Amino acid sequence: MPKILFIQPTQYADNGKLCKQRKINLPGLAFPLLAAYTPAHWQVELLIEVVDEINFDTEADIVAIGSMGHATFRGLEIAAEFKKRGKLVVMGGYMASIAYKEAMKYVDSVVIGDAEISYPKMLQDYEENGTVKPLYNYPINELKNLPIPRYDLLTKKKIGSMLPVQAGRGCTFTCSFCSIACLYEGKYLYRPVDEVIQDIKEVKRLGFNRFYLIDDNIVSNPKYLKELCQKIIPLKMKWASQCIIHLAQNTKLLKIVRESGCDLMSFGVESIQQEAIDSLDKPWLKAKDHEKNIRILAKSGITVSIEMIIGTDFDTEDSIRETSKFIYKNKIPIPRFYILTPVPGTELYKELAKQNRMLTDDLRKFDGTQCVHIPKKIAPEKLTEMYWWINNEVFSIKSILYRVLLNRNLWKNPSMLIFSLGINFHYRRYVKKRVTPNIF
Ligand code: B12
Ligand code: SF4
C-alpha cells in the first residue's frame, strides 16, 4: 500500500528553537482536504509540527510539505533531510506557489495554488511512472463537489474547540501587499451553500459546537452570506471568520450573521492613517470610520479581532504610538500587528524592488517582525524596534485588563471574555519570546 506523509511545518523563534505548543487551536484545512482526495488504497499520515515530532525514518513513499509564510524555511529544512534519505518530496501552499521557481530547487515537485486537480494527477503520475513532474499548475474555476475533509486526521491530535470549514477562496480585491491577491488576482470562488452546510454538520457530528469559516472576505457576496447564515441558524453552532470591516455598515446582514452564531471576526483595518491605507491599494477602506465600525460590531456581540500594518511610507514613531493609543481607547479585544512585508510576487514587492528599496532577499527575514525594506519616514531598525514596542505595549498586563476585562461588550458573552483573555496572555508569552503573536 503506497503511503503519503503530509507535514505542516512550524517556524523558528528568535532563540533558534522551533515553536511548539501543547495544542493547536486553529488547524489548517489543506491537508485534511487533500487526504480526502487521496485514493482509498493510499495510506495517509498528517504531522502538524507545532504539536507533533517529525519521524524522519518514515516508510512513506511521498512526503508532502506545506509552506505558510516564513514556516516555509523549516519546511525546506525538513525537505532537505528527507531528500538525503532518498524520499520523494513535494511542496504546495502559498509560499511555494508564489515563489515556485525557488521552491523547485529544493523539492521534486511543486503544486501551484489550488490542488484539487493537480494533486490527484500527481498521485496518478507516481503510480504510473514511479515519479512525479517538477511542476503542477492546474487552477480551478469553481469550488464545487469538494469531498468532506478527513477531520479524523485532526481530531486524533491535541486540538482546541473548533474545526475549519471552507466557504470561499480568493478575494475580489487586490491589495498590493496581499498574498491572496497575488495568487488569485481578484478571483473569488465560493462553494455551494449546501456543501458548506454538509461540512458544518460533520463538524457538529464529531462533537464540536464551534467552527472556523475559512474565507478571506466572507462578506464578498452578501446574498450568499445571508443564505449561508440562514442555514447555519438551525444547527446552533458558534463560528468565527474574517472579512472587511464594512460588515458593520450592513445592519440586516450583521444581524443575521450574529443570529447564526458568529461571535468572533477578524478585520484587516491596516492603519489609522488614510494615506497609508491608500498606499496599500485599499482606498475603499476609510480610516475615519474605523472607530464607529468597531463600536457597532462590538455592540452587536462580535468579538473584534483586528490586523494592522506598520511600516508604510506614512508611518513614523509618533504614528505607531498613536496606533497603540487607538487599540487601547477602542478596547480592541484581539489586536495583531505585522511589519509591512513585501512578499516577492506581490505588487508591493515589484514596486519597492523597482525603487531599490528592498534591504534583503533573505526570505527567512520576511516574517512580519523584521523590517526588510526602506520606509520613507522611519529607519528600518527603528521600525523593527517599534514593532516590538507596540506589541509589548498592547500585550502589557494593564492594556490586557483594560481592553478585555473592562470591556462591557465582552461581559455579555463570558465564553468570549475567557477566550479573549486566554489569547491575549498567549500572545503576551509569544511577544516575550519575540515570536509573531499569531500561531495559536
Ligand atoms: C488557518 C490559517 C492559519 C492557521 C493554521 C496554520 C497552519 N499551519 O495550518 C494559523 C492561525 C496557525 C496560521 C498561522 C500563520 N499564517 Co496562516 N492562514 C490560515 C488561513 C486563514 C486558512 C488556511 C487554510 O486552511 N485554507 C484552506 C485550504 C483548503 O486552502 P489552502 O491552504 O490554500 O490549500 C489549498 C492549496 O493551497 C493546496 N495546498 C496547500 N498546502 C499544500 C501542500 C501541498 C504539499 C500540496 C500538494 C498542496 C497544498 O491544497 C489546498 C487545496 O487546494 C489562510 C488564508 C487562506 N485563504 O488560506 C492563512 C494564510 C495561509 N496564512 C498566512 C500566514 C502569513 C501565516 C503566518 C506566517 C502568519 C504569521 N506572521 O505568523 C502564520 C504561519 C504559521 C505556521 N507556522 O505555519 C498567509 C500566507 C501568505 C504566504 N505568502 O505564505 C495566508 C494566505 C493569510 C494571508 N491573507 O496572508 N494560519
Ligand atoms: S481585502 Fe483582504 S484578502 Fe482581499 S486582497 Fe485585500 S488584504 Fe487580501
Ligand 2, closest atom to CA 216? 3
Q: What is the pLDDT of residues 121-175, one digit of tens each?
A: 999 999 999 999 999 999 999 999 999 999 999 999 999 999 999 999 999 999 9
Range scoring the smallest mean pLDDT among 45-49, 89-93, 181-185, 392-396: 181-185
Q: How are the residues of the chain apportioned to helix, strand and coil, as percentages rounded to the nearest 5? A: 40, 15, 40
153 inside domain: no
pLDDT at 438: 77
Share the mean pLDDT of the chain.
96
Q: What is the pLDDT of residues 74-83, one digit of tens each?
A: 999 999 999 9
Name the residue among 66, 120, 54 with its Cα closest to residue 90. 66
Based on the fold, state whether residues 129 and 166 are members of the same structural domain.
Answer: no
Q: How far is the CA of 358 from the centre of ligand 2 (A)?
A: 23
Q: What is the pLDDT of residues 255-297, one digit of tens each?
A: 999 999 999 999 999 999 999 999 999 999 999 999 999 999 9
The grid coordinates of residue 133 equal: 513532474
Residues 6+ apart with CB under 8 A from 315: 271, 273, 276, 375, 377, 378, 383
pLDDT at 436: 84
Q: How far is the CA of 209 from the centre of ligand 1 (A)?
A: 23
Q: How far is the CA of 126 from the centre of ligand 2 (A)?
A: 36
Inter-axis angle of helices 290-300 and 251-259, to 10 degrees?
A: 40
Secondary structure class of 354 (helix, strand, coil): helix
Based on the fold, state whether residues 236 and 319 are members of the same structural domain.
Answer: yes
Cβ of 71 closer than 6 Å to ligand 1, yes or no, is yes
Q: Which domain holds residue 250?
A: 161-432
Based on the fold, state whether residues 264 and 384 are members of the same structural domain.
Answer: yes
Q: pLDDT above 70 covers what percent of the chain?
A: 100
pLDDT at 224: 97
The grid coordinates of residue 176 equal: 498590493
Question: What's the CA angle centered on 265, arms 283 and 163, to 5 degrees?
Answer: 130
Contact 345, 100 (CB under 8 A): no
440 inside domain: no
Based on the fold, state whether residues 205 and 332 are members of the same structural domain.
Answer: yes
Question: What's the CA angle centered on 156, arms 151 and 159, to 5 degrees?
Answer: 80
Based on the fold, state whether residues 291 and 412 are members of the same structural domain.
Answer: yes
Based on the fold, state whether residues 40 and 183 are members of the same structural domain.
Answer: no
Burial 254-275 (b: 16+ CB within 10 A, else e): bebbeebbbbbbebbbbbbbee
148 inside domain: no
- CATH code for the domain of 121: 3.40.50.280
**Last residue of some domain: 121, 136, 151?**
136
The grid coordinates of residue 254 equal: 450583521
156 inside domain: no
Based on the fold, state whether residues 111 and 169 are members of the same structural domain.
Answer: no
Based on the fold, state whether residues 105 and 212 are members of the same structural domain.
Answer: no
Cβ of 180 closer than 6 Å to ligand 2, yes or no, is yes
Count of domains in the chain? 2
Q: Does 306 score more than 80 pLDDT?
A: yes
Ligand 2, closest atom to CA 179? 8
Would you place residue 346 in the very low, low, confident or very high pLDDT band (cuts 50, 70, 90)? confident
Report how far residue 213's alpha carbon sits from residue 437's, in angstroms, rounded to the nearest whole number.
21
Least distant ligand from the CA of 132: 1
Q: What is the pLDDT of residues 352-408, one digit of tens each?
A: 999 999 999 888 888 899 999 999 999 999 999 999 999 999 999 999 999 999 999
Report how far residue 162's alpha carbon sits from residue 9's, in angstroms, rounded to the nearest whole number.
20
Based on the fold, state whether residues 124 and 203 are members of the same structural domain.
Answer: no
- CATH code for the domain of 394: 3.20.20.70
437 inside domain: no
Ligand 1, closest atom to CA 140? 53
Helix (H) or strand (E) run with residue 416 in it: helix 414-432
